[in-house]
Structure 1
């Protein structure tokens, strides 16, 4: 079990709290009400005992944070990541509350994580870890309480393990306990690409607003689930993706990358590096390329005060959670770079998770066209509402979206008599 001190301030969590403090000034929120917006309702830290393949036992730190359920049951992913900490999970849970509110779906915010490097574990050890985690948090989750989903380095397969273990613990069928699971056990179509698809829908609405065509150059930082799917969707729509990066390298071809072949190359080699039809550069070079649109699609805090001035893109669409620090945000705004905030741009995942919850509750499942149609409706409406709030207040897109979300959460808190 690695040490991950909780006493140190987490810059990601500080960014989220700072943003809420900015909204507090705009809306003149009283201190007692603001406290409910910042502090989570429940925090759980567990030790997960896992029998390793060599017969030894290891204990992994696991977390579940339930931030606010005024608008609906808690909802949020689970990540298996070596740098996961309680403060990181608090930040992500807080973002989930306001993400759901910003796009107008009736859910609250939660998040979970396990401090682990899954590249060092066997498939059997990962399964035992997943089952151990859901056993530990089982008393506080369930289809009518808190519904987890995949996040960084978790997958539909891992959700399947958790579903199975939860049903063993509870002794009943409960397909709605997690979303993002395989379709054969109650998952929804489109869920695997939902974050990327939602981000592309928002990008296309922005494009319409400015009257742009498809002759735009695009860079995608991060080539995991969200990044690779966004690249693939954009490529098939006829856009020119010219730069892509993962943790090991950036590949560039200003004539346009062949995304299907690049995905195949990454699957075979484990990295985008040395793709035959492109120039290979260090991983951090992706952010600096002279493109029209940048999609940060990996982890938080990748655009900072140290590199924000190097960004040449005109538009940033945040597919990752919290990729931009508050200091970087100010630099980008000063440089007239429009940022489509994470709580709007990457909401496609939780929206289709919401659809999965609806489908599970009725035992009636939609086809791919229906899921995409409903996702498109919500993303377009949310884009317009967040944009209009930004224009009304004369603030950044991020601050406009957060202000709208906070107003909606406060409305629910007041109607419940919690203040």
Structure 2
């Protein structure tokens, strides 16, 4: 049952909303979006996608999403966002675990919560997880610790996306030392994915943003690109690579394409011809239904957005699921292992049943429900380091659909 809490900014008169997709669990999680044309219907769609992510992971958390209809570049942005977060104080203290989304940054949300005396936009986790304030703060503090060029908090979503893409490549019989990746988007999500690919020494041959595409078949210098200010356009980050229009990315061959640059990142016309065998989608609604179907019909393996973009949810399981407080690198390692297990399960199921990865992921989510008294610590994909590789939760069998029996 969906629940919508409405808000109206007393100064700018812009509407805001908090949408709970379900009311089954003690905790609900989702990001805060700021966009001039934001509607409650958009947030309902996004909240439902958050529920899918939690259910696929097998954790006891419902999906939610909040946001305010204001231009994030507007002159009163900071004040509008602060008033909205303060309005949600009661929900933040009891049930809603807030993250960032388009138009907001996690650091600023945390700062607003601290200034308002809430403590953290994720303080609801402490109550739902039944841990002390000291333990909660110790684990949340890990998100501010640098791991390579970015902090753990900055890395987690893109780290999961990159490892979802690499798991798909491995499942398809490719050696990571020989894999080439084309990366669409170099904002928060794309840069974090790039950091993970750099750690794995994977060759990224093309990166694009709104300003153009940088290309080097030998592999772009990601280490240097990640040291340069994020506001710099991709075509100007390096001196040597070839520079082309951003659309050129979809004409270039690669083993894997990672979509980390917003909604509808690939048009149906591009999906009909893009010369890649694997596409991993990280941004919410990064592929339209039409574009995804065109890719699937061509035999392209598509990791859907609610799997490639699952990193925020999975990282909370990696952070709060273990009995002992992990260190930042352990969180990333656990997150990578979770993505290998999850994507492996999904792709094995898709192969065995002859259906899309999306269909299998939806079946896993449909068969799951709230589990246990605590939201985190129940995912079957967070295997211990002592467990043998390949010990996965079984894909829930589903009766064949009419399409499968034809």
**Structures share fold, TM-score greater than 0.5:** yes
Alignment coverage as a number of residue pairs: 353
Question: Which residues in structure 2 correspond to 1:98-137 (within 5 Å)?
Answer: 98-121=52-75, 125-137=76-88
Per the alignment, do residues 321 and 254 of structure 1 end up closer, same or farther by CA in structure 2, a change over 3 Å counting? same
Per the alignment, do residues 120 and 399 of structure 1 end up closer, same or farther by CA in structure 2, a change over 3 Å counting? same
Tell me which residue corresponds to 1:211: 173
For residue 366 of structure 2, the aligned residue among 400, 406, 411 is: 406
1:136-177 Cα deviation digits (max 9, x unpaired) = 2334333x4111111223223212233225535xxx888624
Equivalent-residue separation in structure 2 for 1:293 and 1:109 (angstroms)? 29
| Mapped contact 1:163–1:175 kept (Cα < 8 A) | no
1:326-374 Cα deviation digits (max 9, x unpaired) = 1112210121110011222221221223455569xx9x74311331233
Per the alignment, do residues 370 and 396 of structure 1 end up closer, same or farther by CA in structure 2, a change over 3 Å counting? same
Equivalent-residue separation in structure 1 for 2:26 and 2:168 (angstroms)? 29
Equivalent-residue separation in structure 2 for 1:231 and 1:148 (angstroms)? 25
Tell me which residue corresponds to 2:394: none
- Offset at residue 71 of structure 1 (A): 4.9
Q: What value does the CA root-mean-square deviation take over the aligned residues?
A: 2.9
- Offset at residue 98 of structure 1 (A): 0.7
Equivalent-residue separation in structure 1 for 2:336 and 2:352 (angstroms)? 24
Tell me which residue corresponds to 2:156: 194
- Offset at residue 215 of structure 1 (A): 1.6
Which 5+ residue runs of structure 1 have no aligned equivalent? 1-39, 50-56, 413-419
Question: Which residues in structure 2 correspond to 1:205-284 (within 5 Å)?
Answer: 205-213=167-175, 214-267=177-230, 270-274=232-236, 275-284=238-247
Equivalent-residue separation in structure 1 for 2:254 and 2:187 (angstroms)? 21
Equivalent-residue separation in structure 1 for 2:220 and 2:355 (angstroms)? 36
Equivalent-residue separation in structure 1 for 2:33 and 2:316 (angstroms)? 16
Q: Tell me, yes or no, if structure 1 residue 299 matches structure 2 residue 225.
A: no
- Offset at residue 304 of structure 1 (A): 3.2
- Offset at residue 60 of structure 1 (A): 2.9
Tell me which residue corresponds to 1:47: 8
Tell me which residue corresponds to 2:272: 309
| Mapped contact 1:265–1:271 kept (Cα < 8 A) | no
| Mapped contact 1:44–1:65 kept (Cα < 8 A) | yes
Tell me which residue corresponds to 1:87: 41
Equivalent-residue separation in structure 2 for 1:92 and 1:188 (angstroms)? 27
| Mapped contact 1:317–1:339 kept (Cα < 8 A) | yes
Per the alignment, do residues 99 and 126 of structure 1 end up closer, same or farther by CA in structure 2, a change over 3 Å counting? same
| Mapped contact 1:64–1:113 kept (Cα < 8 A) | yes
Equivalent-residue separation in structure 1 for 2:214 and 2:313 (angstroms)? 30
Tell me which residue corresponds to 1:19: none
1:352-399 Cα deviation digits (max 9, x unpaired) = 23455569xx9x743113312332343233223323432453210011
Equivalent-residue separation in structure 2 for 1:255 and 1:200 (angstroms)? 19
Per the alignment, do residues 64 and 330 of structure 1 end up closer, same or farther by CA in structure 2, a change over 3 Å counting? same
Per the alignment, do residues 314 and 340 of structure 1 end up closer, same or farther by CA in structure 2, a change over 3 Å counting? same
1:188-210 Cα deviation digits (max 9, x unpaired) = 33232111111222233323323
Equivalent-residue separation in structure 1 for 2:69 and 2:160 (angstroms)? 29
- Offset at residue 284 of structure 1 (A): 2.9
Equivalent-residue separation in structure 2 for 1:173 and 1:155 (angstroms)? 13
